[in-house]
Amino acid sequence: MHTFRLAITGDFLNEHGQSAYGDLGFGAIESCPFIDIDYIMDHAPRINDSSYWDQLYSMELKPAHLRDRDGLIVLRPYIRASAFAEGVRENLTIIGRSGAGYDKIDVKACTDNDILLFNLPNVLNHSTASTALMFILALAKKLLPSDQITRQGRWDLQPQVMGMEIEHKTLGIIGLGASGRELVRLIAPFNMRVIAYSPHADPVQAASLGVELTSLETLMRDSDVISVHSNLTPDKHHMIRAEHLALMKPTAYFVNVARGALVDQAALVKVLQERRIAGAGLDVFEVEPLPANDPLIALDNVVLTPHFSPATSDVWIAGGLQMSKCILQAARGIVPNNVINNTVLDRPGFQAKLARFVENQKVAVS
């Protein structure tokens, strides 16, 4: 038996060192006889340390966190090339990203250091799409203003909170990947015209879904509701800029459940402040957590959630089960599913590191 030393970033935990999110789905790896788990407590919150939450999305992994580890499960921290110093790259074999996005991880550095990176590409598809649908309906039906006047007893303001129907309107989806396609499925009963900007989408598949592929400019101009589902790569930073937002209808809504940096947030704030669009629903922001003095917070035509709406208890369990399965594969010397950097598979250094754990295939796991 060859022990597989697994580190897990501490942002899975609460102030008392317990899971912050209920059942993480890690039971299979926690009970595995050849996996030794250690949480990185530098990334865990501490009692009465409010500053932790200001750093939640800016934390990063250092060599000291990864030294003498064979595997890593990472939730939020950055992983830059500097993390793979001497004492790390010799042993670290795999990194599992607990989620779909991996824009905070230096993929090239992983490959160069013979480290396999995998993610959970499908676990959030439905929950991300249903979050987008939640925003779309809440905005169109003016849910928050209606709630406010009801609590205030201002029934005389009913005419001011009349919403719109999305039926027969045009939905524009930016990024026709898995969650974008799931939104197409969810929106079907509303009989919307669906258009999409997604340069790498398969035209045949799009047509089979009843989606018309178009340019970004046309989408911004024609849509009554825009929903962003694109992944974030360096070339997509501020993909949606002031000139694109200027094309939107004054009655249109903008939803982003992907990544904040895809949008020039200052430009979005401006069109919202000037009421040049009807409103927005945002789960993601350029700076996270959203600063307390951010102008978005003062706006009454925006629905804001803390980059967490898709992360339901069901998703945590499903994601943990998938993660555990992949970790168990690697801890037995088997290439796990959902590899991001496939070129690492041909590197002798990676092959040698993974081969250390083949003998664990002989060990029974309950």
Active-site residues: which are they? 259, 288, 307
Which of 175, 324, 305, 166 has the alpha carbon at shortest distance from 240? 175
Cβ–Cβ contacts within 10 Å for residue 165, how many? 9
Strands (DSSP E) contained in 98-236 are 116-118, 170-174, 193-197, 211-213, 225-228
Strands (DSSP E) contained in the chain are 4-9, 35-40, 71-74, 94-97, 116-118, 170-174, 193-197, 211-213, 225-228, 253-256, 279-282, 302-304
Q: Are strands 253-256 and 35-40 parallel, antiparallel or unpaired?
A: unpaired
Dmax over CA atoms of the chain, in Å, equals: 74
Confirm if 192 and 170 have CB atoms less than 8 A apart. Answer: yes
